[in-house]
Amino acid sequence: MLYTLRRVLYTVPIALSVTVICFLLVHIAPGDPLQMMLPDNATPEAVAELKAKYGLDKPLPVQYLVWLGHVAHGDLGASISTGRSVADELSAAIGNTAIIATGGAMLGFLMGIGLGLVAGLRADTFVDRIATTVAIAAISVPHYWLAIVMTIIFAVELNWLPAIGIGPGGVSLSWEDLSHIVLPVLTLSLIPMGIIARTVRGKVVELMAMEFIQTLRAKGLRPVGILRHVVKNAAPSVMAVMGLQLGYLFGGSILVETVFNWPGVGFLMSNAILRRDMPMLQGAILMLALLFVVLNLIVDLLQTTIDPRIQRRG
Amino acid sequence: MIFTGRLISKLLPGLVLAILTLAMALATPHPAAAESVLRVAMTAGDIPITIGQADQGYEGFRFVSLSLYDCLVEWDLSSADKPSGIVPGLATSWEVDPEDKSRWIFHLRKGVKWHDGTEFNADDVVWNFERLWNKDAPQYNAQQHSDAASRFVDFKSVEKIDDYTVAINTTDGASLVPYNLGYIAMVSRTQYLKLNGGWPAYAKAPIGTGPYRFDKVVPGERMELVKNSDYWNKDRIPKHDRLVLYPMPEATTRASALLSGQINWIEAPPPDMVPKLKSAGFNVVTNAYPHMWAYELSFRDGSPWRDIRVRKAANLAIDRAGLKELLGGMMIESYGVVPKDNPWYGKPSFAIKYDPEAAKALMKEAGYGPGHPAKVTIAISPSGSGQMQPLPMNEFVQQNLATVGFEVNFAVKDWNTLIGAMRKGANDPSAVAENIEGINFSRTTQDPYSAICRFSMTSQITPKGSNWGGFSDPAIDKVCDQAMAEFDLAKQTELFAKAHAMMVDEAMMVWIAHDVNPRALSPKLKGFVQAKNWFQDLTPVVVEP
Q: How large is the average pLDDT for residues B308-320?
A: 97
Q: How far is residue B493's CA from residue A213's CA, in Å, rounded to a whole number?
A: 92
Q: How far is residue A137's CA from residue B127's CA, in Å, rounded to a whole number?
A: 62
Which contiguous run of DSSP H or E holds residue B13? helix B2-26
- Kindly state the percentage of chain B with pLDDT values over 70: 94
pTM of structure: 0.85
Q: Does B10 touch chain A (CB under 8 A)?
A: no
In the predicted structure, residue B13 carries a pLDDT above the cut 70: no
Q: How far is residue B228's CA from residue B231's CA, in Å, rounded to a whole number?
A: 5
Does B256 contact A163 at a Cβ distance shorter than 8 Å?
yes
Least trusted range by pLDDT, from A22-31, B27-36, B113-122, B126-135: B27-36
pLDDT at B62: 93
The torsion angle over the Cα atoms of residues B214, B215, B219 and B221, rounded to 10 degrees, is -100
pLDDT at B206: 97
The torsion angle over the Cα atoms of residues A142, A147, A153 and A157, rounded to 10 degrees, is -130
Helices A175-208 and B2-26: crossing angle in degrees, nearest 10, is 170
**Closest Cβ–Cβ partner in A32, A263, A275 for B219:** A263
Cα dihedral sign, A9-A11-A13-A19: negative
Q: How far is residue B222's CA from residue B215's CA, in Å, rounded to a whole number?
A: 11
Q: How confident is the model at residue A36 (pLDDT cuts 50, 70, 90)?
A: confident
- Cα B219 to chain centroid, rounded: 24
Q: Chain B window 182-221: which residues touch A at a Cβ cutoff of 8 Å?
A: 199-200, 203, 218-221
Does B26 contact A85 at a Cβ distance shorter than 8 Å?
no
- DSSP letter for each residue of B146-169: HHHHHH-TTEEEEEEEETTEEEEE
Q: How far is residue B541's CA from residue B14's CA, in Å, rounded to a whole number?
A: 49
Q: How far is residue B334's CA from residue B295's CA, in Å, rounded to a whole number?
A: 11
Cα of first residue to Cα of last residue in chain B, in angstroms, is 60
pLDDT at B8: 44
B447 secondary structure, DSSP code: S
- Cα B147 to chain centroid, rounded: 13
pLDDT at B4: 43
Q: Find out whether B539 and B491 touch, Cβ atoms under 8 Å.
A: no
Report the residue of A35, A37, A41, A276 to disrupt the B interface, i.e. the one with the largest count of B CBs within 10 Å.
A41
ipTM of the complex: 0.82
CA atoms within 13 Å, Cβ hemisphere of B151? 24
Tell me the nearest-neighbour CA distance from A158 into chain B, angstroms.
9
**Closest Cβ–Cβ partner in A38, A82, A117 for B8:** A117
Residue A213 or B350, more confident: B350
Does A260 contact B45 at a Cβ distance shorter than 8 Å?
no
Task: Please list the alpha-helical segments (H only) found in B137-244.
Answer: 142-151, 177-181, 189-195, 198-204
In the predicted structure, residue A98 carries a pLDDT above the cut 70: yes
Residue A234 or B232, more confident: B232
Does B45 contact A270 at a Cβ distance shorter than 8 Å?
yes
Q: Find out whether B166 and B73 touch, Cβ atoms under 8 Å.
A: no
Tell me the nearest-neighbour CA distance from B235 into chain A, angstroms.
31
Q: Find out whether A155 and B256 touch, Cβ atoms under 8 Å.
A: yes
Q: How confident is the model at residue B484 (pLDDT cuts 50, 70, 90)?
A: confident
Tell me: the pLDDT tens digits for B405-419?
A: 999 999 998 887 888
**Closest Cβ–Cβ partner in B26, B422, B441 for A178:** B26
Q: Which residues pair with B170 in a beta bridge?
A: B155
In the predicted structure, residue A312 carries a pLDDT above the cut 60: no
Tell me: the pLDDT tens digits for B133-174?
A: 999 999 999 889 888 888 888 899 999 999 999 999 998 767
In chain A, residues with a C-beta closer than 8 Å to the C-beta of B47 are 82
Q: How confident is the model at residue B87 (pLDDT cuts 50, 70, 90)?
A: very high
In the predicted structure, residue B30 carries a pLDDT above the cut 60: no
Q: Give the number of other Cβ atoms within 10 Å of residue B193's Cβ.
A: 12
Q: Does B32 touch chain A (CB under 8 A)?
A: no
Least trusted range by pLDDT, from A240-244, B196-200, B255-259, B299-303: A240-244
Does B3 contact A271 at a Cβ distance shorter than 8 Å?
no
Report the residue of A34, A40, A254 to disrupt the B interface, i.e. the one with the largest count of B CBs within 10 Å.
A40
Q: How far is residue B434's CA from residue B526's CA, in Å, rounded to a whole number?
A: 50
